[in-house]
Every structure is written in C-alpha cells, then in structure tokens.
C-alpha cells in the first residue's frame, strides 16, 4: 500500500530522518543511533518514507543505505508554490499595515 506523502512528512521523526539523510546516505542502524527509539521503530518510519518515494535504498554489501530523493520533494515544492504567491502578498500587506501603525505612533 502506497503511503500518503503528506502523512509521511507530518511526523516529526520522519522529517528528522529526511534531514539526516539529506546530508549523507545512512543505514537504518546509524539512523537509530540518532533517535531515542528502537531500530525496529526507525525501520517503520523508513518504510513509510520509502513507500512515498521520499527516500531511495541502495544495497552495498550487507548494508542498505538510504538516500534522500530530491525529485520527490520537488513535486511537493511545486504543489506548495501555488500557495506561496498568496502568502507573500498577505505578508507584504501585513508589513504595510504594521509600518503604517508604527508611523502613526510617532
């Protein structure tokens, strides 16, 4: 069963795993050392991220290394882009209101 991308990144542990492997590929054992949880618990998070294609696996001897899949995150970024312009407009309007209020206090 393919996992939902948004549910996958909603979990703080999975976001932390993505942050870790964005820097360098890691094995599940190395990832588990970074968290206060069992290797099995980390493996469940890895499975969800792998099913969403946010990470890719690569076998090297007996070890499996997980890599960050930037292309999949680009898909997410493209989805967010539709909202970005609206947010920027609203923030700019808020800046103008705050600037006006600040001038009126002087």
pLDDT of 85 reads 87
Q: Which residue has the tokens 């996958």?
A: 8
3-state secondary structure of 65: strand
Tell me which residue range forms the domain holding 38: 1-68
Q: Which residue has the tokens 């960050």?
A: 68
Triad 75, 9, 65: Cα angle to 5°: 85
Q: What is the pLDDT of residues 55-84, one digit of tens each?
A: 999 999 999 999 999 998 888 888 888 898
Do 37 and 60 belong together in one domain? yes
Q: Taking the CB of residue 56, how many other CB atoms lie within 10 A of it?
A: 16
Do 62 and 75 belong together in one domain? no
Do 51 and 84 belong together in one domain? no
pLDDT of 11 reads 95
Do 81 and 100 belong together in one domain? yes
Do 49 and 16 belong together in one domain? yes
Count: domains in the chain: 2
Do 30 and 82 belong together in one domain? no
Do 40 and 92 belong together in one domain? no
pLDDT of 1 reads 56
């Amino acid at each position: 069963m393919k996992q939902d991308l948004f549910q996958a990144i909603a979990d703080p542990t999975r976001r932390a795993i993505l942050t870790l492997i964005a820097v360098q590929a890691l094995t599940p054992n190395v990832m588990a050392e970074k968290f206060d949880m069992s290797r099995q618990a980390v493996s469940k998070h890895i499975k969800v991220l792998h099913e969403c294609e946010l990470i890719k696996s690569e076998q090297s001897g007996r070890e499996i290394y997980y890599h960050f899949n930037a292309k999949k995150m680009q898909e997410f970024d493209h989805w967010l882009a539709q909202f970005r312009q609206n947010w920027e407009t609203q923030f700019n309007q808020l800046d103008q209101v705050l600037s006006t209020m600040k001038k009126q206090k002087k």
